[in-house]
């Protein structure tokens, strides 16, 4: 891996998260314009992050919700009556 590719490979996430200075972003974007391999690397990482975010949500079942409330009532209701 070329030095420039390696340098940017280490900071793609910070680049995608907008955590780098303008100067560094410009430096990376200059490199990406010239390097199709790194461009592909950034694109597939971005796509993979977005895919994970789409699949995040889980919902607690109704029985689990009720068990949680029952455990909390057992623990705290007596302190408060």
Partner 1 sequence: MNEMTDVTADPTDHHLIDQFKAGSMEAMEKIVGRYEDRIFTFGLKMCGHLQDAEDIAQETFLNAFRYLKDFREETKLKNWLFMIAARACIRKRRKKKCEPDHEISLDSFVQEDGSAGRYEIPDWSDDPSDNVIRAELKRIIDAAIQTLPQKYKLVFNLRDMEGFSTKETAEILGISAQAVKTRLHRARLFLREEISKRYKEGRSR
Can you give the binding site for partner 1, defined by CB under 8 A?
1-2, 5-6, 9-14, 17, 19, 37-38, 40-41, 44-45, 47-61, 64-65, 67-69, 71-73, 75-77, 80
Q: Least distance to partner 1 from the beta carbon of 22, Å?
A: 18
Q: Least distance to partner 1 from the beta carbon of 79, Å?
A: 8
Q: Which is nearer to partner 1, 23 or 76 (CB)?
A: 76
b/e for 67-77, b at 16 or more Cβ within 10 A?
eeeeeeeeeee
Q: How far apart are the first and last CA of the chain?
A: 68
Q: What is the CA radius of gyration of the chain?
A: 23
């Amino acid at each position: 891996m070329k030095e420039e590719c390696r340098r940017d490979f280490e900071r793609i996430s910070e680049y995608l998260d907008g955590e780098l200075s303008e100067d560094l972003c410009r430096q990376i974007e200059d490199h990406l314009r010239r390097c199709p391999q790194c461009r592909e690397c950034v694109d597939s990482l971005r796509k993979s992050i977005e895919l994970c975010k789409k699949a995040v949500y889980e919902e607690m079942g109704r029985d689990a919700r009720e068990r949680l409330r029952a455990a909390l009532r057992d623990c705290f209701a007596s302190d408060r009556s």
